[in-house]
Amino acid sequence: MGPEDLRTLRQGLAGQEGKDADRINSMPKYVASRTMKEPLQWNATLIKGDVAEEIRQLKQKPGKGLLQYGVGELTHTMLQVWPCG
């Protein structure tokens, strides 16, 4: 997700309770940004360097798959690396 997606989700869900809010609040969040600096809040980590390579490494980790919020430059980068169809 990008910085605006993180801000929007955090404003809407941080501190909320319930099955869906608990799930989203607890899951790790990875933010692609050229302007944000660490440390990030709300269980978020800044993706640094080669975004495609960082995402490739995240996809290799055991556990559930990645979920993307928002559409923007990150989506275009991901579609260049992993085309649909």
Which tens digits make up the pLDDT trace of 12-67? Answer: 887 888 998 888 888 999 999 988 999 998 899 999 889 999 989 998 999 888 88
Measured torsion, CA atoms of residues 57, 42, 27, 79, in degrees rounded to the nearest 10: -40
pTM over 0.75: yes
Q: What angle do CA 30, 9, 61 make, to 5 degrees?
A: 25
